[in-house]
Amino acid sequence: MDSIRSWWERYSFQTAIVATGLGLAWFIRQTNGVAIMETYQFFSRPFQASVSKQELLQDAQVRELRYRLTELESQNQQMKELLKVKVSPTDSGVWAVVIGRGADSWWNQILIGKGSNDGIKAGSVAVAPGGLVGRVTHVSPNSSQILLISDPNSQVGVVVSRSRFTGMLKGQSQNTATLEFFERDPDVKIGDIVHTSQFSTLFPESVPVGRIKSINLDKQPSPEAIVEFSTPLGLLEYVKVYPFQEKR
């Protein structure tokens, strides 16, 4: 007994440090680091520059309306059912303020100030003025983490509205993404509007994504294009989150 007491008196501090570290590591793993990001944003918010983004957001809203109109006209020409869109401005959704994003993951993910207490679930789709933003990947009671479509790990099935050629969109950690076409000789032009495809499993169809900025039809193993996002992902202040069930 004396030996145990002696050992404890000698190593109690080290043991407490190790136990605390293990507990903290377990907590971070369980919450995917959400609590740490929230704490960081709380203390760093007074030092963040406040820049007016109203004009950029208004431009994004105009682009979104124009892109939606282009898609509806294309669907009409293709004899498809008009307004067959699972996510639209008339759908019920939850508005949320962006409360966090790391400097080293600016184009990868954001943290919003609403969570499961507000009805948000993992898999929900986030949009903003301009169009698609990303997908909810983790939810806590009062916050949610969103994987942006600009993240290199994000993949979105998309379609060129004018020609209906499809492909896979992959983020580039900036306000553009790479579009890899499924066809060897796609009908695509600079300026073409891109929307989510009906074949996308993680996102609803016909949500505006962006426009074609450049094209490389000689790219191997498949033709590529660079798509400029219609939403200013680097300047997000708020998003709207819609429930969406992954397609099987």
Name the amino acid, one letter, at 229.
Answer: F
pLDDT at 220: 87
- pLDDT value at 214 more than 90: yes
Query: What does the pLDDT average to over 201-228?
Result: 93
* Nearest residue to 34 via CA among 120, 92, 94, 95: 120
Q: What angle do CA 106, 65, 175 make, to 5 degrees?
A: 20
Around 36, how many Cα atoms within 13 Å sit in the side-chain half-sphere? 11
Separation between Cα atoms, residue 231 and residue 16, nearest integer Å: 48
Q: What would the two tokens of residue 95 be?
A: 């508005």
Q: What would the two tokens of residue 182 be?
A: 């499924």
pLDDT tier, 60 (very low <50, low <70, confident <90, very high otherwise): confident
Cβ atoms within 10 Å, residue 130: 25
165 vs 42, more confident: 165
Which fold is adopted by the domain 51-248? Thrombin, subunit H (2.40.10)
pLDDT at 150: 96
- Sequence length of the chain is 248
State whether the Cα torsion 36-53-225-157 is positive or negative. Answer: positive
pLDDT at 87: 46
Summarize pLDDT for 222-236 with one digit per residue, the tens: 899 999 999 999 999
Summarize pLDDT for 113-149 with one digit per residue, the tens: 999 999 999 999 999 988 999 999 999 999 999 999 9
pLDDT at 81: 39
In the chain, where the domains are located? 2-47, 51-248
Give me the DSSP letters along 107-145.
Answer: TTEEEES--GGGT--TT-EEEETTEEEEEEEEEETTEEE
B/e letters for 62-76, b = 16+ CB within 10 Å, e = fewer, are ebbeebbebbbebbe
- pLDDT value at 24 more than 70: no
Q: What is the DSSP letter of 163?
A: T
- pLDDT value at 198 more than 60: yes
Contact present, 96 and 144 (Cβ < 8 Å): yes
* Nearest residue to 128 via CA among 72, 59, 178, 212: 59
Give me the DSSP letters along 7-56.
Answer: HHHHHHHHHHHHHHHHHHHHHHHHHTTHHHHHHHHHHHGGGS-----HHH
How high is the mean pLDDT of the chain? 80
23 vs 219, more confident: 219
pLDDT at 92: 75
pLDDT at 5: 61
* pTM for this prediction: 0.67
Please name the helix (run of DSSP H) or strand (run of DSSP E) that holds residue 100, with its range, or none. strand 94-100
Least confident of 48-57, 121-130, 179-188: 48-57
- pLDDT value at 39 more than 90: no
pLDDT at 157: 96
68 vs 144, more confident: 144
Around 202, how many Cα atoms within 13 Å sit in the side-chain half-sphere? 19
Separation between Cα atoms, residue 13 and residue 24, nearest integer Å: 16
- pLDDT value at 109 more than 60: yes
